[in-house]
Amino acid sequence: MNSESSQTGPQRVQKILSAHGIASRREAEKLILDGHVTVNGIQAHLGQSAEFGRDEICVNGAPILPRGELVYIMLNKPRGYVTTRSDERGRKTVMSLVEGICPGLFPVGRLDINSEGLLIFTNDGQFAQTVTHPSRGKKKTYEVRVRGDAESAVATLCGPLLIDSHIVTALAAELVYKTEDGGLLRITIGEGRNRQIRKMCVSCGLDVVMLKRISIGALKLGSLKTGNWRHLKDEEVQSLSG
């Protein structure tokens, strides 16, 4: 898959950075706010427009180059890794698990350090925005091993819950199996708020022991081993882009 941005004319600088695989839209905005981006030698400001190919747009002094091959991969993230490009506290990052695949690769969305499972990477900023934007309604399903009354929690998870001043609900929740002290739940959500699944479980009186994301939209983790990655198939990319 080879592509350059098909859009011409002025665009927001953060959108250009994202479309050329420099960072996700949110990370691009932070790069601008932190003074790392210039347009024609002048420090850029958030909301500024420029035209790729006519204006010189630089990040930390390096000009943005035309896009090369677009890359889309999925990783089965292990526990103990943070979902950032670098970590000021010296913790292991997911980037070490996909090192050397291609320049400009970044994770799409997040899984917290104690969570595991399906995590997508790309150098295609527009694709990343499509996957993560709430209006696209990409459902995410998780398996959650809990301690507590897992069976009774199923109905509560599907009802309205107040989490961080927002009303949220699970699109689906089921008890996969019971254990002496809890059980395994499978929970599907449409939002992607910070640590949402964990907070929903806590609000139901459950203690989360293990949390694994097993699908995003039609993309399933399947039998991919922990710590391993693979390229997405064309039809998988297309399903996530819709």
pLDDT digit string, tens, across residues 161-195:
998 888 999 999 999 999 999 999 999 999 878 89
CA 33 to each of CA 20, 29, 43, 242: distance values in angstroms, whole numbers, following the listed order:
18, 6, 10, 31
> What pLDDT was estimated at residue 67?
66
> What pLDDT was estimated at residue 20?
78
141 strand-pairing partners: 188, 215
3 state SS of 193? coil
> What pLDDT was estimated at residue 232?
96
> What pLDDT was estimated at residue 127?
86
> What pLDDT was estimated at residue 4?
38
> What pLDDT was estimated at residue 23?
75
> What pLDDT was estimated at residue 39?
95
Contact 109, 131 (CB under 8 A): yes
For residue 202, what are its two tokens? 């806590």
Considering the four listed CATH numbers 1.20.1740.10, 3.60.20.30, 3.30.70.1560, 3.20.20.70, the one that applies to the domain covering 139-216 is 3.30.70.1560
Say how many C-beta atoms besides its own lie within 10 A of residue 216's C-beta: 24
The class of domain 11-63 in CATH terms is alpha beta
Based on the residue annotation, tell me whether 149 is a catalytic residue of this protein. Answer: no
| Domain residue extents for the chain | 11-63, 72-135+219-241, 139-216
> What pLDDT was estimated at residue 141?
97
> What pLDDT was estimated at residue 6?
42
For residue 93, what are its two tokens? 């990052």
Which residue is catalytic, options 34, 55, 87, 112? Answer: 112
Enter the pTM of the model. Answer: 0.75
Q: Which residues of the chain have pLDDT under 70?
A: 1-8, 67-68
Backbone angles phi, psi at 46, to 5 degrees: -60, 130
The class of domain 72-135+219-241 in CATH terms is alpha beta
For residue 221, what are its two tokens? 């983790």
Domains 11-63 and 139-216 share a fold: no
Indicate the burial class of 115 (C-beta count within 10 angstroms; 0-12, 13-18, 19 or more).
buried
